[in-house]
Amino acid sequence: MKEVSEIKKYKAIDFFCGGGGMTCGLRQAGIDVIAGVDLDENAKETYEFNNPGSVFVHRDVKRLHSNYFEKNLGVQKNDNRLIMVGCSPCQYYSIINTDHTKAELSKDLLMNFARFIEYYMPGYILVENVPGIVTNKETILPKFLRKIEKLGYKHTEEIVDMSQYGVPQSRRRFSLIATRLEGVDISLPEKSKEIITVADVLGENNGFPKIKAGHKDKSEFQHTVAGLSEVSLKRMALTPHNGGNRLSWASRPNLQLECYVGKDDIFKDNYGRMWWNRPSPTITTKFFSISNGRFAHPDEDRAISIREGATLQSFPKDYVFKTNSIAGAARIIGNAVPCEYARRLGETIISNS
């Protein structure tokens, strides 16, 4: 185990930081995250409140001068212990239906991140994104990899499932670590021997009292949950506990949705319940809505709460989401890199150096 004083020499800049999932995890590993950069001003208060000392830089990376961190935060070039993180927005490469006209704006952000790599030449690079960044025919990834290889970086990459790294959630992501340092063994974190399930982190035994749809928690615990219409409450009442889905009420005309009539084989997870004995499904920005996936509580007739979604993303229970709406908090949570995986990435860099 390295001395704390040695660990603290590692520093990071977290590009596209959002509300701070990656920053939180790296800080847990003992890394000094100097700054987070993001265009979403709505994430600023959440980021800075939970990560004191890490500066939120509200800028469009495309328009941010390469020397910004050098001039304003004293970041030096060629720092072997500097980590640059680029988890760029992934809408363009996502399999989830999205507005590709809007998503087009995010397509080339990885190359904008590469501009800062070339200017500062950090010791390490971290990238996390959706698997589509590998499989999409129009992906920018090969160009990015050629760029960093030309700069002298070697890398390792893999499509990983976060459930194999201490996160109670099935979440497949592209993960990359790169370094320009000679004699350094770079590798992704080791997989866990045990899988953490929903039952391991949620439920009354884990500090989540039973609540009803529409419950508003005014405390910082934020065990707040979206309301449900009368008809959706009837649907939930007929959905079997622990993994039930919408097929249990598909034959009832008063409950079935027109868009699903005769289509029992599609979108079966919508209106479905999570299983206690499995990791949760991927936590998206819409996890507060039962109509957008298998986001219903295993037993209670409601969607999972803001705090439950955050916990499945491995945020600490005292991490506070500074927003005025359920949708705003869910957006920050769903877009985040799970903190536990980020922590393991940080510890891997430290231990292999």
The pLDDT value recorded for residue 268 is 82
Quote the pLDDT of residue 2. Answer: 45
17 tagged catalytic = no
**Element at 12 (helix H, strand E):** strand 11-15
The catalytic residue among 24, 90, 259, 339 is 90
Written as one letter, the residue type at 22 is M
Residues 6 or more apart in contact with residue 95 via CB below 8 angstroms:
130, 132
State the pLDDT at residue 101: 55
Kindly report the number of other CB atoms within 10 A of residue 98's CB atom.
Answer: 14
Q: Which helix (H) or strand (E) holds 155?
A: strand 154-161
Write the DSSP symbol of residue 17: -
What is the per-residue pLDDT for 266? 75
Domains parsed from the chain with CATH numbers: 4-190+339-352 (3.40.50.150)
pLDDT at 135: 86
Condensed to tens digits (0 to 9), the pLDDT of residues 34-73 reads 999 999 999 999 999 999 999 999 999 999 999 999 999 9
pLDDT over 90 percentage in the chain = 84
Compute CA 345 distance to the chain's CA centroid, rounded to the nearest angstrom. Answer: 14
Segments of the chain scoring below 70 in pLDDT: 1-8, 90-107
Between CA 124 and CA 349 the distance in angstroms is 8
Q: What is the pLDDT of residue 292?
A: 95
Taking alpha carbons only, the member of 304, 306, 302, 308 closest to residue 237 is 302
Contact 321, 333 (CB under 8 A): yes
The closest of 286, 284, 308 to 297, measured between CA atoms, is: 308
- In this predicted structure, what is the pLDDT of residue 100? 52
pLDDT of residue 4: 46
Task: Report pLDDT for 46.
Answer: 98
CA 310, 96, 126, 195 dihedral sign is: positive
